[in-house]
Each structure stands twice: as C-alpha cells, then as structure tokens.
C-alpha cells in the first residue's frame, strides 16, 4: 500500500490515550484495561479503522483492539475514535509479528484480517498475515473456540491462505469466493479497501478458520 507521510501523526499518536504504548505490560491484563471480562476481538492491519470502529459501535459488549504498524493510517482511525470515544476500542501501533508478546494464551476470542498486504514475492511469503507462521502466532493467543476471519479481493493471496489454513492444521468453517453475492452477505461490514475494490467489480473472498 502506498503511504503518504502525515505530518505530526507520530506525535499525535504518542499523546493519544486510545493508543496503548507498551502493550507488553497488558499481556494477560487486557480485561483490566477495558474494566470488564467481555470477549476481545482484534483486527490486524486495520488501516484507517472503519471496519473495527463500526463493529465497536454496534457491539458494546465486545472489546476491540486494532493493530496497525503505520502512524499515517492509524491517525485516521484515531480521528474517528476521538469523536466517538467508544470505551470498548483501543489501538496498537505495532508490527503484528510481535503479537504473542502482547496477548496471553486464550486472551483473544476472534482475529480479523482484512485486505492484508499480498507480499507477492515468494521469499516474502512468511510476512503474509495468513501464512502458517502467522497462524502459529494466532494459535498462541486465541481461545480454544476462537476464530480467524479473513477477507480479500486478491485471489492469489486467498488461494495461498486456503492452503496455509490446511498446512497449519486448522479447519475452514466458511469459504466464499464472492461474499457480496453469497448467503453470508447480510450484516457484512465493508472496510475501506473492500469499498474501493468491490466498486471496481472485484469479487470479495472470505474465509473463517478454527482449530
């Protein structure tokens, strides 16, 4: 994804209380931060945050954490949250490769991956958020009945992801190659990328994986 440097984004994020600065300190203690034992759902690579913010508004009994490594996009999600001040939504400006440092075994109930970067070169496959290396990380933080939900319009990345689910020893509970025209379309919340690519006519693929 092409990123524009947003002046002052890093500083604004450093000062914002909705961004947790040292997430390792909350490992095993996220319920204390939220002040309740509600399930925690995370979105990895949430970009400008429309998806997770809408979910947090619609589901006050679920806690949400958005993880995004770039300040220049996270700042857009923060602009929304500064207005809404949802008590069930926080953000991390971190690389998801470190995710097992932030969350305890079983601390997370669901992981959303939306329009993740494809990393098209084979030698970068391990960086894809649906690689078996990432599934091994998700395995360490997800509750036994937890699930990973993934959407993309990139058919090559989707096919790779279907293979990786199997290689990681996980099972698919939902697979569609055209979400918007499927039985699963109802209630679907579109991400920024999803709006853009579905407007071009690209079919949206979705999978849900469990262990």
Residue 27 interacts with ligand SAM (CB under 6 A): yes or no: no
Instruction: Quote the Cα angle for 195-119-134, to 5°.
Output: 95
CA 90 to each of CA 20, 107, 115: distance values in angstroms, whole numbers, following the listed order: 7, 15, 21
Closer CB to ligand SAM, 57 or 192, in the complex: 192
Q: Say whether residue 114 binds ligand SAM (CB under 6 A).
A: yes
Can residue 73 be called a binding residue for ligand SAM (CB under 6 A)? Answer: yes
Name the residue nearer to ligand SAM (CB basis): 36 or 150.
150
As measured in angstroms, the least distance from the Cβ of 208 to ligand SAM is 16
Residue of 47, 146, 150, 168 that binds ligand SAM (CB under 6 A): 47
For ligand SAM, the closer CB: 70 or 177: 70
DSSP assigned state of 188: P
Whether 56 and 86 have beta carbons less than 8 Å apart is answered as yes
Q: Binding to ligand SAM by residue 133, rule CB under 6 A?
A: no
Residues marked active site are found at: 117
Among 14, 95, 163, 167, which residue sits at the site for ligand SAM (rule: CB under 6 A)?
A: 95
Q: Report the alpha-carbon angle 96-190-198, nearest 5.
A: 110
Q: Which of 9, 67, 142, 209 binds ligand SAM (CB under 6 A)?
A: 67
Contact assessment for residue 141 and residue 108, using Cβ atoms and an 8 Å cutoff? yes
> Please, is 83 exposed, middle or buried when counting C-beta atoms within 10 Å of its C-beta (0-12, 13-18, 19+)?
exposed
- Binding residues for ligand SAM (CB under 6 A): 1, 44-47, 67-70, 73, 95-97, 114-117, 191-194
């Amino acid at each position: 994804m092409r990123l524009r440097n947003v002046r002052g984004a890093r500083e604004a994020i450093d000062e914002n209380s909705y961004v947790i600065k040292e997430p390792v300190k909350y490992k095993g203690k996220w319920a204390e931060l939220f002040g309740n034992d509600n399930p925690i759902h995370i979105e990895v690579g949430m970009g400008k945050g429309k998806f997770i913010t809408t979910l947090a508004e619609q589901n006050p009994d679920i806690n949400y954490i958005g993880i995004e490594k770039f300040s220049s996009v996270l700042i857009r999600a923060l602009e929304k949250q500064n207005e809404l001040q949802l008590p069930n939504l926080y953000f991390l400006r971190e690389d998801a490769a470190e995710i097992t440092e932030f969350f305890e075994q079983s601390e997370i109930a669901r992981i959303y991956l939306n329009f993740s970067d494809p990393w098209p070169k084979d030698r970068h496959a391990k960086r894809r958020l649906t690689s078996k290396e990432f599934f091994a990380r998700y395995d360490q933080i997800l509750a036994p009945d937890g699930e990973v939900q993934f959407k993309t319009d990139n058919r090559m990345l989707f096919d790779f992801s279907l293979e990786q689910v199997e290689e990681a020893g996980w099972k698919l509970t939902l697979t569609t190659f055209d979400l918007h025209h499927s039985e699963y379309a109802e209630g679907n919340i579109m991400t920024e990328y999803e709006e853009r690519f579905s407007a071009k006519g690209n079919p949206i693929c979705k999978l849900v994986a469990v262990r």
